[in-house]
Amino acid sequence: MYRDHFITELRRRLPDDLPVGLCVLDDQMRVTDWNRTLAKWTGIDAEQIQSELLVDFYPHLKAPRYQQRLKDVLSKNLPVVFSAAIHKHFIPVQATESGRGLMYQETVAHPIPGFPGYVVITISDVTARYLQTEALR
């Protein structure tokens, strides 16, 4: 019942068609929500991934550099940033809006106030900004 209320409330607050990927994980790192933007970017529909472990779809997320930081979001109740420079592809995508097959991402894992044990992950396409910065170097 709590989970149903959580998903209903979250969907009410966060529009599904934002140009940002949104994924909600529970404290076991199971996907409880996956927005249409992520479905479009990854080719994985919400129905395919909901209630599944994120690492079953993305095994590279088993690495300690990801696992510990995601656990820190829950235990320390603070957001964690996965930068494009270090973690280019938190969730690999099939294509970006511009048609590129490679997207540099800024990914932030946030605790959700009022919903302990849940993390919302936002993924932004920062490819243009990243490539501009690299060109200036």
Q: What pLDDT score was predicted for residue 79?
A: 94
Per-position DSSP letters for 4-50, written without gaps between them:
HHHHHHHHHHS-TT-SSEEEEEETT-BEEEE-HHHHHHHS--HHHHT
Dist CA 128 CA 137 (whole Å) = 15
pLDDT in tens, 119-137: 999 988 877 777 777 777 7
Q: What pLDDT score was predicted for residue 82?
A: 85
List of E strands, 40-117: 80-82, 105-111
Average pLDDT over residues 23-35: 92
Average model confidence (pLDDT) for the chain?
82
- At residue 84, φ and ψ (nearest 5 deg) are -65, -35
Residue 111, strand partner residues: 119
Q: What pLDDT score was predicted for residue 89?
A: 74
What is the band of 12 on the pLDDT scale with cuts at 50, 70, 90?
low
pLDDT in tens, 44-66: 999 999 999 999 999 989 998 88
**Two tokens, residue 26:** 């529970």
Dist CA 107 CA 84 (whole Å) = 8
Average pLDDT over residues 25-33: 93
Q: What pLDDT score was predicted for residue 120?
A: 92
